Amino acid sequence: MPRFPVFDTIDTGYPPGVTSTTQQELFRFLEDRFACAQACTECARACALRASLVDPDGTQEQELVRRKGIMCAEVCDATCRVLSEQNRLDEAGIRIQVEWCRTVCLECAHVFDRQSGAEDGAKAGRVCAQACTDFLATLN
């Protein structure tokens, strides 16, 4: 395989302490990282929209939908930033953030399932949770 010296200076996107033995593994890591960040962005948007449509003075169930939607949007937004910025979090820090995102997205999806008209938000939560699961697999 030919070597390209210019690529020796490019940051691989790996957190410190994570190594790769093949170029294919590196590509999978970067693709899954990007897919997870993209799913987080879509989920944050869907959850924020759903939360904004709920009456803040509504029923207890509506308040739960609103709170879960806001929390999910915030966690997804933070996770997207962690995955897309070249920060220096270690692998454990990234893993914790992504696992937290996956958990919050699934909880939010379950709450949205009980709300009429929230199907898109529930689906976005599940897609994001799956993208988080896929990305976590690349860290193993």
pLDDT tens digits in sequence order for the chain, 140 residues long: 445 444 444 455 555 555 545 788 878 888 899 999 999 999 999 999 999 998 888 899 999 999 999 999 999 999 999 998 766 668 888 999 999 999 999 999 999 999 989 999 999 999 999 999 999 998 87
Give the Cα separation of 37 and 93 in Å (integer): 16
pLDDT of residue 63: 92
pLDDT of residue 6: 42
Q: At what angle do helices 60-84 and 119-139 cross, to 10 degrees?
A: 40
pLDDT of residue 90: 80
Stretch (H or E) spanning 122: helix 119-139
One-letter amino acid for residue 50 of the chain: R
Instruction: Read off the pTM.
Output: 0.80
Which residues neighbour 133 within 8 Å (Cβ) at sequence distance 6 or greater?
Answer: 102
- In a 3-state reduction of DSSP, which class is residue 2? coil
pLDDT of residue 15: 56
pLDDT of residue 86: 67
Matching residue, tokens 């449509």: 53
pLDDT of residue 140: 74
Which residues neighbour 1 within 8 Å (Cβ) at sequence distance 6 or greater?
Answer: 23
pLDDT of residue 138: 87
pLDDT of residue 21: 57
